[in-house]
């Protein structure tokens, strides 16, 4: 397993969040999956039933169907297309992808959360503790069509102490996006404390 | 029917998304990532990718804007010494004399380095044999690492073969490059992940049509290609794999209407390779009407024909416009 820094874009549009929601997520609530947000209360058994390969496939390939009921959380980690920039030349940055989703291409405001998550090396849709690098061609070959989003898929919940900060961006409705403000998290736990390097006594 | 309608997209969304990607590129430019006093290659690639995303959507409604955006991407590719930028520049520049621009660019030097590198490697191969006889082999001189990729070498070759003057001047080295790339024909390349062989056919056609010689040279062999200069029928036959792959990928992507309508489908709305190569074809003197008619006769899907129409009408229309000073050097 490894620690992956990611960016999460959340809409600040009509159905999205506002400044107060964003601050609450950063300092207290963390980022919940849309299934949890919709039903209000979830159970361990419910989580077991939701975390399936089939639901992950729907989340990645047919989001419109599962958008209000998904136990997964899409994060952007950036992507060197086809894993080699010099072969096909395109580098999709995490910020660009998250901004696009958060502001709907500059249509409205959006919030960008910078967080880290633990990613497994193999497919493990049912294991709640690790995120899936669905854009990794060597792991998720069948999902390669969506690789350019550079997606890492977290599960159920990202605790607030794994979120370093958020940025608010404005969209003018015509495609122009501008940085508005940022807010950091005093309770953030840096991932370095999970380092597997131990010093001698 | 306008291409935007053929693709079932909303113009307002297309315009907004194009502007969005351009603004993102500008934002990235404001925060350059520096390594050893120079912007990182990855930073250049991020900016260039955002400009290309903006350009691909802009091609659906505003040519002038799209061309400007491509050239901005080109500047970043070239700063990163990536020959793909030269291919885009060669295909999309509006300069009155693209050949002049290519002569002034690093293209000739890059091609020379690649050919020399290949020559040295071959020499080392011989020295390896001598090593067995008790002599030390030398090592090849270093080559910028983007030039080590076969795909980048191909884009460089296409950029240079696209114009008669440049193609003629560097014909010898381009023939060597073509021979060197032949064994890599199965390597996937481009937005549609087509075999490199599909592109290589174009390098050969451009070489044969511009220089009149069907000769391909490696160090040990001279291979004569049987086919002569390409006629319209062959042009359309060679474009077909690109056109059909583009149409198939677009059709597949449209089945996910959520991503398609929001322009986030993982497919290039405009295939800049397909359009760029079509640009080179038109510069060989083919009539747009003839090419378009042949595509229709071969029952190309509407999506593929729309992009072909876009690209074939492009060169004649652009040549009627006043030249501008857009430069990529």
Q: Which of B56, B158, B264 to mutate to test the interface with A (most CBs of A within 10 A)?
A: B264
Query: A11 at the B interface (CB within 8 A)?
Result: no
Residue A93 has pLDDT above 80, yes or no: yes
Task: Return the residue of A nearest to B145 by Cα.
Answer: A86
Chain B hits for A146, Cβ within 8 Å: 266
What integer best gives the mean pLDDT of chain B?
Answer: 86
Summarize the confidence of residues A27-43 as an average pLDDT.
95
pLDDT band at A159 (very low <50, low <70, confident <90, very high): very high
Return the number of other C-beta atoms located less than 10 Å from residue B158's C-beta.
Answer: 25
What's the pLDDT at A37?
Answer: 94
Please tell me the predicted confidence (pLDDT) of residue B142: 73
Which residue of B22, B49, B259 is in closest CB contact with A92? B49
- Could you tell me where the beta strands, DSSP code E, fall in chain A? 2-11, 31-32, 72-76, 79-80, 91-92, 110-119, 151-155, 157-158, 163-171, 177-184
**Among candidates B16, B145, B193 on the partner chain, residue whose Cβ is nearest the Cβ of A175:** B16
Least confident of B69-78, B160-169, B246-255, B319-328: B319-328
Indicate if the pLDDT at residue A55 is higher than 70. Answer: yes
- Angle at B263 (CA atoms; ends B259, B266), nearest 5 degrees: 65
Average the pLDDT over B37-63 and give the result: 92
Q: Are B70 and B51 in contact (CB under 8 A)?
A: yes
Give mean pLDDT, residues B212-217: 68
Query: Is B251 within 8 Å of chain A by CB?
Result: no
Write down the domain spans for chain B: 1-31+40-80, 98-127+136-228, 230-318
B272 close to B52: Cβ distance less than 8 angstroms: yes
pLDDT the model gives residue A18: 96
* Residue tagged 């940055």 (tokens): A93
Q: Does the structure show a pLDDT above 80 at B229?
A: no
* Whether the predicted pLDDT of A84 surpasses 60: no
Q: What interface predicted TM-score (ipTM) does this complex get?
A: 0.83
Binning pLDDT at 50, 70 and 90, where does residue B216 land? low
Q: Which helix (H) or strand (E) holds A77?
A: none
Verify whether the Cβ–Cβ distance A174 to B16 is below 8 Å: yes
The pLDDT, as a whole number, for residue B130 is 61
Q: What is the pTM of this model?
A: 0.87
Render pLDDT for B279-294 as a digit per residue (tens, 0 to 9): 998 888 888 899 999 9
* Chain A residues 26-85 with a CB less than 8 Å from chain B: 61-64, 80, 82, 84-85
Give mean pLDDT, residues A103-123.
95
For residue B134, pLDDT beyond 90:
no
d(Cα A129, Cα A117) in Å, to the nearest integer?
9
Average pLDDT over residues B45-50: 94
pLDDT, average across residues B41-54: 93
> Quick one: average pLDDT of A74-103?
80
Residue B325 pLDDT: 43
Inter-chain CB proximity B19 and A107 less than 8 Å: no
Chain A residue numbers touching B190 (CB-CB < 8 A): 88
Smallest Cβ distance to B49: which of A61, A90, A179? A90
Measured between beta carbons, which residues in chain A are less than 8 angstroms from residue B268?
A: none
3-state secondary structure string across A78-122: CEEHHHCHHHHCCEECHHHHHHHHHHCCCCCCEEEEEEEEEECCC
pLDDT 10s digits, B55-114: 999 999 998 899 999 999 999 999 999 999 999 999 988 777 888 889 999 999 999 999
Give phi and psi for B303, each to the nearest 5: -60, -45
pLDDT category of residue B129 using cuts at 50, 70 and 90: low
The more confidently predicted of residues A47 and A136 is: A47
| Facing B266 at nearest CB: one of A106, A146, A174 | A146
Å from A43 to nearest chain B CA?
A: 30
State pLDDT tens for residues B5-21. Answer: 999 999 999 999 999 99
If one counts every other C-beta atom within 10 angstroms of the C-beta of residue B178, the result is 23
pLDDT confidence band for B256 (50 / 70 / 90)? confident
pLDDT at B144: 81
The verdict on A182 touching B (C-beta cutoff 8 Å) is no
Are B27 and A179 within 8 A, CB to CB? yes
């Amino acid at each position: 397993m490894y620690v992956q820094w990611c960016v999460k874009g959340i809409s600040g549009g009509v159905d999205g969040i506002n400044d107060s929601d964003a601050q609450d997520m950063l300092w207290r609530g963390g980022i919940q999956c849309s299934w949890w947000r919709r039903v209000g209360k979830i159970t361990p058994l419910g989580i077991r039933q939701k975390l399936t390969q089939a639901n992950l496939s729907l989340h990645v390939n047919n989001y419109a169907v599962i958008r209000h009921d998904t136990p997964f959380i899409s994060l952007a980690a950036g992507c060197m297309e086809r894993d080699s920039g010099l072969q096909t030349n395109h580098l999709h940055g995490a910020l660009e992808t998250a901004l696009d989703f958060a502001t709907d291409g500059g249509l409205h405001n959006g919030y960008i959360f910078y967080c880290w998550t633990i990613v497994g090396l193999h497919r493990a849709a049912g294991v709640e503790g690790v995120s899936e690098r669905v854009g990794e061609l060597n792991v998720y070959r069948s999902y390669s069509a969506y690789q350019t989003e550079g997606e890492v898929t977290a599960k159920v919940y990202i605790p607030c102490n794994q979120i370093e900060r958020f940025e608010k961006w404005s969209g003018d409705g015509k495609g122009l996006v501008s940085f508005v403000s940022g807010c950091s998290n005093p309770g953030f736990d840096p991932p370095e404390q999970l380092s597997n390097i131990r010093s001698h006594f | 029917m306008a291409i935007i309608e053929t693709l079932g997209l909303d113009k307002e969304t297309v315009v907004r998304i194009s502007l969005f990607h351009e603004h993102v590129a500008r934002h990235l430019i404001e925060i350059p990532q520096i390594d050893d006093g120079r912007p990182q290659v990855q930073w250049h690639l991020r900016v260039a990718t955002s400009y290309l995303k903006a350009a691909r959507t802009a091609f659906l409604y505003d040519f002038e804007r799209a061309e400007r955006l491509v050239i901005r991407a080109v500047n970043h590719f070239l700063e990163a010494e990536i020959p793909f930028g030269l291919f885009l520049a060669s295909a999309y520049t509006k300069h009155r004399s693209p050949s002049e621009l290519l002569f002034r660019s690093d293209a000739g030097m890059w091609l020379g380095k690649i050919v020399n590198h290949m020559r040295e490697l071959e020499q080392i191969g011989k020295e390896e044999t001598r090593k067995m006889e008790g002599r030390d082999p030398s090592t090849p001189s270093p080559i910028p690492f983007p030039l080590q990729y076969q795909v980048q070498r191909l884009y460089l070759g296409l950029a240079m073969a696209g114009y008669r003057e440049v193609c003629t001047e560097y014909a010898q080295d381009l023939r060597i490059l073509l021979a060197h790339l032949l064994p890599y024909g199965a390597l996937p390349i481009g937005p549609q992940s087509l075999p490199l062989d599909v592109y290589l056919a174009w390098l050969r056609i451009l070489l044969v049509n511009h220089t009149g010689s069907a000769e391909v040279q490696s160090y040990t062999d001279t291979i004569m290609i049987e086919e002569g200069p390409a006629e319209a029928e062959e042009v359309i036959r060679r474009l077909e794999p690109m056109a059909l792959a583009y149409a198939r990928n677009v059709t597949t992507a449209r089945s996910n209407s959520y991503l398609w309508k929001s322009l986030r489908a993982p497919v290039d709305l405009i295939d800049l390779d397909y359009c760029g190569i079509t640009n080179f074809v038109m510069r060989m003197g083919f009539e747009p009407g003839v090419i378009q008619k042949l595509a229709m006769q071969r029952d190309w899907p509407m999506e593929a024909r729309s992009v072909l129409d876009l690209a074939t009408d492009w060169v004649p229309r652009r040549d009627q416009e006043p030249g501008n000073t857009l430069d990529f050097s």
